[in-house]
Structure 1
Amino acid sequence: MDFDRRTLIAGSLTAAGVAAGLASSARGQTAPPQASKALPPGLPQPTETIDLWPKGPPATLRVPIAEVVDERSTDALVTDRAVHGVTRPRMVVFRPDRPNGAAVMITPGGGYTRIVVDKEGYEIARWLTARGFTAFVLFYRLPGEGWSSGPDTPLADAQRAVRLIRHRARDFAIDPERVAAMGFSAGGHLCADLGARFAAKVYDPADEADTLSAKPFCAAPIYPVVSMDPAIAHSGSRDLLLGPSPSAALEAAHSPDRVVPADAPPHFLVHAEDDDVVPVENTTRLHAALRARRIPVEAHYFANGGHGFGLRRAIGKPVEAWPEMWRAWAGTVGFA
Structure 2
Amino acid sequence: MTATVAAMLALGPLSPVPLWPNGNPDGWHNQEPEKDYVENGIRMIREIDKPTLTPYLVPGGEKRPGVVVCPGGGYYILAYDYEGLEIAEYLNKQGINAFVLKYRLPRGQDLVKYRPALQDAQRAVSMVRARADEWGVDPKKVGIMGFSAGGHLSAATSTAPKRTYAAVDAADKASCKPDFTVLVYPAYLTGPGD
TM-score (norm 2): 0.87
- Separation in structure 2 between the aligned mates of residue 207 and residue 118 of structure 1, nearest angstrom: 30
- The Cα offsets for residues 178-233 of structure 1, whole Å up to 9 and x where unpaired, read as 10110000000000111111x4231111012112211111000110014252xxxx
- Separation in structure 2 between the aligned mates of residue 183 and residue 189 of structure 1, nearest angstrom: 7
- Separation in structure 2 between the aligned mates of residue 169 and residue 89 of structure 1, nearest angstrom: 20
Equivalent residues of 1:100, 1:132 under 8 A apart: no
Equivalent position of 1:184 in the other structure: 147
Secondary structure of the structure 1 residue equivalent to 2:32: coil
Equivalent position of 1:209 in the other structure: 171
Supply the AA of the counterpart residue of 1:105: V
Out of 4, 17, 40, the position equivalent to 2:7 is: 17
- Separation in structure 2 between the aligned mates of residue 73 and residue 47 of structure 1, nearest angstrom: 27
Equivalent residues of 2:114, 2:153 under 8 A apart: no
- Separation in structure 2 between the aligned mates of residue 223 and residue 58 of structure 1, nearest angstrom: 29
1:109 has 2:72 as partner = yes
Structure number with the higher strand fraction is 2
Supply the AA of the counterpart residue of 2:33: A
Structure-to-structure mapping, 1:26-45, within 5 angstroms: none
Q: CA 1:94–1:159 in structure 2 vs 1: closer, same or farther (change >3 Å)?
A: same
Supply the AA of the counterpart residue of 2:150: G
Equivalent residues of 1:50, 1:92 under 8 A apart: yes
Give 1:153 deviation, angstroms.
1.1
Out of 59, 69, 74, the position equivalent to 2:36 is: 69
Secondary structure of the structure 1 residue equivalent to 2:164: coil
Deviates most, 178-187 or 200-209: 200-209
Secondary structure of the structure 2 residue equivalent to 1:175: strand
Equivalent position of 2:102 in the other structure: 139
TM-score (norm 1): 0.52
Out of 147, 162, 165, the position equivalent to 2:128 is: 165
Q: CA 1:19–1:50 in structure 2 vs 1: closer, same or farther (change >3 Å)?
A: farther
Secondary structure of the structure 2 residue equivalent to 1:132: coil
Equivalent position of 2:184 in the other structure: 222
Secondary structure of the structure 2 residue equivalent to 1:203: coil
- Separation in structure 1 between the aligned mates of residue 71 and residue 129 of structure 2, nearest angstrom: 20
- The Cα offsets for residues 112-151 of structure 1, whole Å up to 9 and x where unpaired, read as 0011111100111001111211100000000126668753
Deviates most, 59-68 or 47-56: 59-68
Q: CA 1:82–1:157 in structure 2 vs 1: closer, same or farther (change >3 Å)?
A: same
User: Number of residues paired by the alignment?
Assistant: 189
- Separation in structure 1 between the aligned mates of residue 177 and residue 40 of structure 2, nearest angstrom: 35
Deviates most, 138-147 or 154-163: 138-147
Q: CA 1:167–1:18 in structure 2 vs 1: closer, same or farther (change >3 Å)?
A: closer
Secondary structure of the structure 2 residue equivalent to 1:113: coil
Secondary structure of the structure 2 residue equivalent to 1:195: helix
Give 1:64 deviation, angstroms.
1.7
Give 1:100 deviation, angstroms.
5.2
Structure-to-structure mapping, 1:215-294, within 5 angstroms: 215-229=177-191, 251-252=192-193, 255=194
Equivalent position of 2:92 in the other structure: 129
Structure number with the higher helix fraction is 1
State the identity as a percent. Answer: 34
Equivalent residues of 2:66, 2:143 under 8 A apart: yes
